[in-house]
Structure 1
Amino acid sequence: MLSRVADSIFWMSRYIERAENIARFVDATMTLTLDLPADDTAAWAELIASVGDPEDFAARYGSPSPATVLRYLTFDERNPNSILTTLARARENARCVRDAISSEMWEQANTFYLDVKGAAAQGRFGAMPHAFFAQVKLASHQFVGVTDSTMSHGEAWHFNRIGRLLERADKTACILGAERFNRATTSPAAASPSEMLIDDLDWSGLLKAASAHEMYRKKHGRIEPHRVFEFLILSREFPRAAHYCLLRCVESVHAISGTLPGTYTNPPEQRLGRLAAQLDYAGVEDILPPEVGGDARPFLTRLRSDLYAVGDAIAAAFFPS
């Protein structure tokens, strides 16, 4: 396969996954703020800090508000990580490799972008925002389903899967690193009833943002912060958990290179294998180490840095310019 084609397929998939994740996080924040005072914008500011560019946002919009954050993360074409911008890039990558993907994939990617662009132009977003974000998530799921059903599971399909799952693992770590979740794990046990209620809403919203609420409840029942971290980072079975994503990426990179599991012939295999092995033997005490007060952010920062290094290694090995 030409490196140019592999590169476009990788980023097509990654951008569509990014659009879905932004929709998840914005929708979850909207739901959360329904139960908070109208003038409480902390959740919106934290959302920008997690998945946006705070300096760029502040320069163009000033202080965060629901309306400005929604505009910035959804339809702002000057924001490289808005839903509209990422879908435009996904569509362009799909257009460049139409001969390597199925016609159904191209049609889904094109329709996905045009629907979001039409919503921006016609102002349909403001009336029913939750329905809009639900449609974004559904369109992304449809693209994954169409891909798995209509594309041969060869090299191109594996590059597509690696792009999607690296992005997914990164965004799972990103949202878990938000201050409010780590503040809740390190705060004293003696909290007021209102503070406990807000914490419960936060954790429930986080699980719903990852489509993990029902599966978590089936496994653990009561929502407990350390169990949420364990489930979304270390689960081998839940498809949005970082560990699950890495295990599937390891399978795909070996399929591309033709090497046996447990061996490596290039840096992507080495980095992915090492990172997956670290999570193989990690426990919740590694994510929430007592010596730093149970703060998960150092672990999550390292994880995201390692994921970036994997992406760079893949680009250097398979997409040389």
Structure 2
Amino acid sequence: MMGRTAEALFWIGRYAERTENHARLIDVYYHIREERESTNGQSWSRLIDTIGDRAAFIEQYGSFTEQHVLQYITLDKNNANSLLACTNHARANLRNIREKMPAELWDIMNGLYLWLKEKEVRDITADSPHLFYRFIRDTLSMFQGATTSVMPRQNEWYFVEAGRYLERAENLLRLLQSLCQDYAREELSSYPLMLSVLKSVSGYESYRREYADTVTLSSIIKFLMLNDTFPRSISFSFQALERSLKGIQLDDPDLGNAVHKLAKLAGKVQANLACMDEDDILSGKLEMTLQALRDSCNLMGIRMSKVFFPSREEVIA
């Protein structure tokens, strides 16, 4: 497999996953803003901190208003992590290898991009922001469903899946870090804040089945980090990442050995997670653990780039 093809596949998985994750988070934050909003736009600033760049936002827009924040994180072409930019990146990579991918994937991603690029902020707020972001989420779920149902389980599939699950783990780690920081600043338990995290990963119902009405920071962290059956947990993501990397079969022994080492690194992270328990979460070292896991994600992304596509770098969330 040519490095250009491997690169495109990997980043198709990452950008599609990033767009869906951000759309979920924006939707949830938007609809709980009245419960948490203060006079200085605190909820909007938290959202920028989670999925954007505060310094870049302030330089361009100045104030954390609803219109400014929605424009920046949804439609701003200059923000590399906006929904429009991420969709465009996924589409561009898909277009580069269009002849090697099922036509359904191009139709879905291209359709989403063409729809999104015509929108303005008033289109989000005039009708129903929930329906707007729900459409994006549903379209990307359809894209993932199409990859699952029509792509042969060959190298192309495994590269897309590796990108998807590496991105999923990194996004969740950023979200958990933001939760811990917000929780510490508020000093008191913030029920809406904690529920927003569960809902942003569609984990609220699964969490309730396991923990009923108990909503605490430690139980949420435990569920999202260590539950190996919930598809958006960190544990599950690293399991899936390891499987995807092991599935890549290459004729070049040097490349094959490099991928094998990456799979071992993912397995090592998963093994460390399996050894954790609630006491480790409550030990006061949680932020160090989350950062160490993010560093592992960054390291795997860097090594993947050096092995397969050293010519350029994409945007790391």
**d(CA) in 2 for partners of 1:71, 1:112:** 17
Q: SS state of the match for residue 248, structure 2? A: helix
Does the CA contact (< 8 Å) of 1:52 and 1:81 recur in 2?
A: yes
Which amino acid in the other structure matches residue 184 of structure 1?
Y
Aligned partner of 2:233 in structure 1 is 241
Alignment of 1:1-321 (within 5 A): 1-37=1-37, 39-120=39-120, 123-127=122-126, 128-178=128-178, 180-184=179-183, 191=188, 196=189, 199-221=190-212, 222-257=214-249, 265-266=257-258, 267-290=261-284, 296-321=286-311
Does the CA contact (< 8 Å) of 1:233 and 1:241 recur in 2?
A: yes
**d(CA) in 2 for partners of 1:237, 1:116:** 33
Structure 2 length-normalised TM: 0.90
**d(CA) in 1 for partners of 2:117, 2:54:** 24
**d(CA) in 2 for partners of 1:37, 1:251:** 42
Moved more, 31-40 or 167-176: 31-40
Does the CA contact (< 8 Å) of 2:242 and 2:264 recur in 1?
A: no
Q: Deviations over 1:151-191 (max 9, x none)?
A: 1111100100111111111111111111x544536976xx5
Does the CA contact (< 8 Å) of 1:13 and 1:161 recur in 2?
A: yes
Count residues with an aligned counterpart.
Answer: 303
**d(CA) in 1 for partners of 2:278, 2:171:** 19
* Closer, same or farther: CA 105–183 of 1 in aligned 2, 3 Å: closer
- % identical aligned pairs: 29
**d(CA) in 2 for partners of 1:176, 1:109:** 29
The runs of at least 4 consecutive aligned structure 1 residues that moved more than 6 Å come to 185-188
Q: Return the offset for 1:22.
A: 1.2
Q: SS state of the match for residue 177, structure 1? A: helix
Q: Deviations over 1:220-247 (max 9, x none)?
A: 1121211100111111110110110110
The gaps in structure 1 that reach 5 residues or longer are 259-263
Structure 1 length-normalised TM: 0.88
* Closer, same or farther: CA 166–131 of 1 in aligned 2, 3 Å: same
**d(CA) in 2 for partners of 1:297, 1:67:** 32
Q: Return the offset for 1:40.
A: 4.4
Q: SS state of the match for residue 265, structure 1? A: helix
Q: SS state of the match for residue 86, structure 2? A: helix
Which amino acid in the other structure matches residue 275 of structure 1?
V
Q: Deviations over 1:122-166 (max 9, x none)?
A: x42222211111111111100000111111111100100111111
The gaps in structure 2 that reach 5 residues or longer are 251-255, 312-317
